[in-house]
Amino acid sequence: MKIGLTVHASRPQSREFARSLFDLLTARGHEVMGDDSIRLLIGRPVIDGNPEVMLAVGGDGTMLQAAHRSLALDIPVLGFNQGTVGFLAEAGISDLERVVEALDSGRLTERQRITIAARINGESPAMAGINDVVVEKIQSQRLVFLDVMIDGEDFLTYRADGLVAATPTGSTAYNFSAGGPLVAPEVEALLLSPVAAHSLFDRTLALGPDSKIRIRVSSDRPVRVSVDGIELGFLGQGNFVDIEKGDRMARFLTLYDHGFPTTVKTKFRLS
C-alpha cells in the first residue's frame, strides 16, 4: 500500500515515532510517501507520489494538516495522537503495531464527515475546511457588527467579537470554546456560534447541511476571515463571506469502533 506521512515538525518525540512507523511499514512491504521536508525531518527515504492512505503523527493541528492533504487527494487519514486532547488523532502511540496490522488486513473503519467552504465577495474558488470558518475582529478593543443572512433571508445583526461557523468535527474546537455544543461527527449540520456577543441572543444555531450562510460587515471595523486557522482574507464595511457545506466529504479511519459519548468521556477525562 502507498502511505503518506505528515509529522509534527517541532516535536522530537513525533520525529522519533515517525521513524519507527516508517521502519515498520517498509518492513511490511508498504511504500511510505512524503515530500523533501518529511524526508529531512525523519531522516528516512520517503518517496514522491500519490498515497492511498495518509497517516499523521502529532496533535490535532498535525492531524488537521494531514486531513487537508487527504481531502485534496480524496483519501482517508488516521492520526497518532501526541498532543493533549486529540479529538481528530484517535490512535495512541501504543497502537503502532495494531494500526499497521489493521492496515495490512483492511480492518480499519472509515467514517465520512461533512466539510465546510467559504468564499469572500462571491470570488472563486472557495476554500474548504474540516473544522470551521471564523470571522473575527482585528482591533482588540472594538466590537464588530455582522449582518447574518441564512438561505437568502435576513436573520440578525450580531454585535460581537466574531462568529464561528463549524462542522460537527469542528464542534470540539473553537466552537466549543465559544460556548457551542459538542456534536457527534456523523451528524450532518452546520453550527453558527457568536463569540462574546453583546446581545440578548447569544445561542448557537444548528442548521441543516444545505444551509447557505452569508456574513456581511455592517460597520467600519474590518474583520479577518480564516478557514481552519488559515487566513482567507479581510472584510471591510459592506464586504461579505458566503459559507456552506463543502463539495467533498472528509474521510477518517478509526481503529476503535466506539461511539461519540465514549470519545468525549475519554478525551475530557470524565471518568
**CATH code of residue 178:** 2.60.200.30
Q: Given phi > 0 = left and psi -120 to 50 = alpha, else beta, which region is 121?
A: left
215 and 137 together in one domain: yes
Cell of 261: 459519548
10 and 106 together in one domain: yes
- Residue 97 CA to residue 103 CA, distance in Å, equals 10
CATH number, domain of 31, equals: 3.40.50.10330
The residue range of the domain holding 199 is 116-245
Closest CA to 14 of 62, 64, 63, 57: 57
DSSP string, 102-147: HHHHT-PEEEEE--EEEEETT-SSPEEESSEEEEEESSTT--EEEE
Total domains present in the chain: 2
17 and 83 together in one domain: yes
Residue 141's pLDDT is 83
Ranges in the chain, pLDDT < 70: 84-86
pLDDT in tens, 77-108: 999 998 766 688 888 889 999 999 999 998 99
* CA distances in angstroms from 222 to 107, 154, 159, listed in the order given: 49, 21, 13
235 and 123 together in one domain: yes
pLDDT in tens, 7-21: 999 999 999 999 999
177 and 71 together in one domain: no
153 and 196 together in one domain: yes
Asked about 60 being catalytic, the answer comes back as yes
* CA distances in angstroms from 108 to 7, 99, 113, 192, listed in the order given: 21, 8, 16, 32
Pick the catalytic residue from 60, 132, 161, 242.
60
Using the 8-state DSSP alphabet, how is residue 115 labeled?
-
120 and 241 together in one domain: yes
* pTM beyond 0.75, yes or no: yes
80 and 132 together in one domain: no
229 and 153 together in one domain: yes
90 and 141 together in one domain: no
68 and 166 together in one domain: no
Residue 239's pLDDT is 97
Instruction: Tell me the one-letter amino acid at 76.
Output: P
162 and 67 together in one domain: no
